[in-house]
Amino acid sequence: MERLTLHHSEVSQIAALVEEAIALNDDLESADFLQEAAVLAQEFSRRLRRRMMRFRLEEPTGGALLISGMVVDDERIGPTPSSLDQRRRTRHEEAYLVLVSSLLGDLIGWATQQSGHVIHEVFPIRDHEHMQIGTGCRQLLWWHTEDAFHPLRADYLALLCLRNPQRTPTTLASLQGVHLDEETIDLLFAPLYTIRPDESHLGRTGPVPDGMAPITLPDAGAGPAPLEKVSVLFGERSRPYLRLDPYFMDAPAEPQAARALETLVDRLDANLIDVALSPGDVLLVDNFRAVHGRRPFQARYDGADRWLKRTLIVRDLRKSLAARGAVESRIIR
């Protein structure tokens, strides 16, 4: 995995831009703020911007870039929440995450996820303890492509760590160094597989906001219905993109297709690495090149639990315009 550690001078430069950003707008998820954040991020150091540009355009096979060195004021952010509503104390951190994310593309959210927020919370929720979901903890969160079931899924996700006291690892795997035989590649490139929506889209992380009831847009560019058969590999054959979420996939009926998927899952499993994020770390994951997950842990629900913030980033916001309903909206319905 690629890493970049911010220099002291970059940290203070970013801190000043973050102060400027949060003074602009009360709502860090508004269209105005998201647009201005993308402008302010152009004032990050050339070194950082170059690195992000390289990550975007060269698409390193490892599919992840860790940016460390930012400082999180543990006292200012206050206790890890237990519900999805206490956001005021984390404005600095959220603005930092939005600015960094803006260097890769534009932020989106889902009406069906976290009440339509663009900046997502990742902390353990007691009711989700045993669930296969980012806000669970006791289950291994199986590695996955984020929102693999949906054609409008993000190109990248960004995870900002606020605290991680037990150093619980995020997991990552890619096709770096993986060899697959031609027949397996053929099968994985064929539309033989189905991926169900994961639990985060089933209304578990808060109600769908008013006026945002999920709607069906058959001819609005939203792509195939979720359970249409898709390929697991796509794009360029010698360096394919990935789309899979094994926990939410059933083995295909054709034994050869099932074996091909099994082979890929085994190879990715063998490539899986642990990345224990520290406060201030931003992990950028290329959602076409890498899969990610999380090791299990035991939450204490005492205000000191693991706490991350997350954004989803697309390279082409236009693709989802019909599903967002308006250029100002970042929320896919």
Ligand X SMILES: O=C(O)CCC(=O)C(=O)O
Nearest Cα neighbor of 277 from 177, 139, 171 is 171
Residue 271 C-beta: closest distance to Fe ion, Å = 17
Question: Is residue 134 within the footprint of ligand X (CB under 6 A)?
Answer: yes
Total interface residues for ligand X by CB under 6 A: 12
Residue 43 C-beta: closest distance to ligand X, Å = 28
Residue 264 C-beta: closest distance to ligand X, Å = 19
How far, in Å, CA of 117 to CA of 107, rounded? 11
Question: Is residue 280 within the footprint of ligand X (CB under 6 A)?
Answer: no
Half-sphere exposure of 83 (CA within 13 A, CB side): 3
Nearest Cα neighbor of 175 from 51, 291, 96, 5 is 291
Residue 205 C-beta: closest distance to Fe ion, Å = 12
Question: Is residue 310 within the footprint of ligand X (CB under 6 A)?
Answer: yes
Question: Is residue 170 within the footprint of ligand X (CB under 6 A)?
Answer: yes
Residues 117-146 that bind Fe ion (CB under 5 A): 146
Q: Return the number of the residue (70 or 157) whose C-beta is nearest ligand X.
A: 157
Question: Is residue 92 within the footprint of ligand X (CB under 6 A)?
Answer: no
Contact 51, 4 (CB under 8 A): yes
Q: Return the number of the residue (248 or 301) whose C-beta is nearest Fe ion.
A: 248
Residue 142 C-beta: closest distance to Fe ion, Å = 10
Question: Is residue 146 within the footprint of ligand X (CB under 6 A)?
Answer: yes
Applying CB under 6 A, the span of 25-33, 238-246, 250-258, 286-294 interacting with ligand X comes to 286-294
Q: Name the residue with the smallest CB distance to ligand X.
A: 170
Q: Which residues pair with 282 in a beta bridge?
A: 67, 160
Q: Is 11 exposed, middle or buried (0-12, 13-18, 19+ CB in 10 A)?
A: middle
Half-sphere exposure of 24 (CA within 13 A, CB side): 21
141 interacts with, out of ligand X, Fe ion, none, CB within 5 to 8 A per kind: ligand X
Q: Which residues contact 137 (CB under 8 A, 6 or more apart)?
A: 124, 128, 129, 296, 297, 298, 299, 306
Contact 285, 157 (CB under 8 A): yes
**Which of 91, 117, 128, 294 is close enough to bind ligand X by CB under 6 A?**
294
Question: Is residue 118 within the footprint of ligand X (CB under 6 A)?
Answer: no
Residues 201-260 that bind ligand X (CB under 6 A): none
Applying CB under 6 A, the span of 22-30, 123-131, 236-244, 291-299 interacting with ligand X comes to 291-299
Question: Is residue 112 within the footprint of ligand X (CB under 6 A)?
Answer: no
170 interacts with, out of ligand X, Fe ion, none, CB within 5 to 8 A per kind: ligand X
Question: Is residue 309 within the footprint of ligand X (CB under 6 A)?
Answer: no
Residue 317 C-beta: closest distance to ligand X, Å = 20
How far, in Å, CA of 284 to CA of 161, rounded? 12
Contacts with Fe ion, residue ranges (CB under 5 A): 146
Binding site for ligand X (CB under 6 A): 122, 134, 141, 146, 157, 159, 170, 292-294, 308, 310
